[in-house]
């Protein structure tokens, strides 16, 4: 398999509400947006929010995207200041990794991690 691009879609109830949540969380504007999808470039991968009111499907707890950041500690503090729902009460150290999880308004869980220096 020759992979040219990787991405993930998160099913959300409202693109408008989810876009307003993810723009400050990711610190960027989407590079693609239409009636059913809002897509952000995250380290060269597509991180897309998908909404289709005609489809009945469960939201949240379907996938856990993990994103490597420069400092899990700094991102934990930044998201806490944005009043994002943090699922861990502190940054967790697991061997060479520092990580924490947070939830979006639809209950989708994301994990941010950095390498423990």
How far is CA 54 from its chain centroid? 24
Q: How many CA atoms lie within 13 A of 59 on its CB side?
A: 19
In tens, the pLDDT along 25-81 reads 999 999 999 888 899 999 999 999 988 766 666 666 567 788 999 999 999 999 999
d(Cα 91, Cα 73) in Å, to the nearest integer? 6
pTM of the model: 0.77
At 71 the pLDDT is: 94
At 40 the pLDDT is: 96
Domains of the chain: 7-53+60-115 (3.10.180.10)
């Amino acid at each position: 398999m020759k992979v040219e691009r990787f991405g993930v879609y998160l099913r959300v109830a409202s693109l408008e509400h989810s876009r307003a949540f993810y723009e400050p969380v990711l610190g960027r504007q989407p590079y693609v947006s239409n009636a059913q999808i809002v897509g952000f470039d995250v380290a060269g991968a597509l991180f897309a929010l998908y909404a289709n009111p005609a489809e009945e499907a469960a939201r949240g707890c379907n996938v856990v995207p993990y994103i490597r950041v420069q400092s899990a500690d700094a991102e934990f503090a930044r998201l806490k200041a944005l009043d994002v729902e943090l699922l861990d009460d502190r940054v967790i150290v697991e061997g060479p990794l520092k990580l924490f999880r947070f939830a979006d308004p639809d209950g989708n869980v994301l994990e941010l991690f950095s390498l423990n220096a």
